[in-house]
Amino acid sequence: MSNLRYAFFLGCIMPNRYPGVEASVRRVFSELGIELLDMKGASCCPAPGVARSFHFDAWLAVAARNLSIAEEMGVDIVTGCNGCYATLRDVNYDYHHNDVIRRKVEDYLSKIGRSFKGNIEVKHILEVLYYDFGLEKLKEFMKRPLNLNVAVHYGCHILKPSHKRPWKESVEKPKFFDELVEVTGAKSVFWREKFMCCGAGGGLRSGVLEVALDMTREKLENAYKSGVDCIVNACSFCHLQFDFGQTEVNKACNTSYSMPIIYYTQLLGLAMGLSPKELGMHQNFISVEPVLKKLEAGG
């Protein structure tokens, strides 16, 4: 056992749209001996690109309430959504570095009989695996090297604003996600506009879907040109935009994209010897069968 324990912040998309992704996080973390505790009463984070833009104080209050739940549990938060990560981490950071924000947080929470002292950290699943668990220890769990060429998609909120993020390297040229992918035996392939938004962020998907889909189309086209077997992400919202969004792109642009989209813990789980069904891979809109067939043929 690793003795690592976290409050698992699901967010909205993972349990409601991609329960298979949630299952993969829970299954993989359990195999690694990392304990995930359910956050009873947790709500939407709420989304940084939408809620923060429309009503900052409402966004702040709801986020602070979620933070207070984890603090009451006595453990740090871990999440697998970049947007949830951004909201919760930014509010936690600002609580410690901005007197106005701190007073607002304390005032809003006092009105509902809660409190927050800033005694916890907010972490991404990649942060937990890379720093808390460690690459070398992770390698010990690899049972099946994956012969795959992968387009790694970081997503926006996991990297920036850089002064509120934990990465001990340049966020302009990060390597931590690539290293985590290559632990599985897969190869992280260079692809054009690797760090470009998936198209969903900043409220774009909700506000101007056609622009969001055009960005997704460009990302998909670049992935195809790089010759990869799949796109790997670690954000439930990016996952939705690449997977379900791919079906929307095909309908809107009369294309026939069928790029498999794999969440990181699904990829990791395969390398750990878990089955695709255990990892919820059958629940994607775009089939991952081409990836599984390649692995069966000699991966």
Q: What is the pLDDT of residues 200-253, one digit of tens each?
A: 877 778 778 889 999 999 999 999 999 999 999 999 999 999 999 999 999 999
Helix (H) / strand (E) containing 6: strand 4-9
Q: What is the pLDDT of residues 126-150, one digit of tens each?
A: 999 999 999 999 999 999 999 999 9
CA neighbours closer than 13 Å in the CB half-sphere of residue 62? 17
* The pLDDT value given to residue 2: 66
Residue 299, pLDDT > 80, answer no
Q: How far is it, in rounded angstroms, from Cα 133 to Cα 108?
A: 35
Model confidence at 49, pLDDT cuts 50, 70, 90, reads confident
Helix (H) / strand (E) containing 261: strand 261-263
Give which of 107, 83, 84 is closest to 95, Cα–Cα. Answer: 107
Residue 1, pLDDT > 60, answer no
Q: How far is it, in rounded angstroms, from Cα 72 to Cα 67?
A: 9
Q: What is the pLDDT of residues 65-116, one digit of tens each?
A: 999 999 999 999 999 999 999 999 999 999 999 999 999 999 999 999 999 9
Model confidence at 34, pLDDT cuts 50, 70, 90, reads very high
Higher pLDDT among residues 206 and 153, named by residue: 153
Cβ-proximal residues to 165 (8 Å cutoff; 6+ apart), any chain: 89, 158, 159, 171
Q: What is the pLDDT of residues 156-178, one digit of tens each?
A: 999 999 999 999 988 899 999 99
Determine the average pLDDT of the residues in 122-128. Answer: 98
**pTM higher than 0.85:** yes
Residue owning tokens 């690109």: 49
Q: Diameter of the chain by CA atoms? A: 60
* The pLDDT value given to residue 35: 98
Query: Does residue 285 contact residue 260 with C-beta atoms inside 8 Å?
Result: no
* The pLDDT value given to residue 24: 98
Residue 62, pLDDT > 60, answer yes
* The pLDDT value given to residue 213: 95
- Tell me the percentage of the chain whose pLDDT exceeds 90: 90
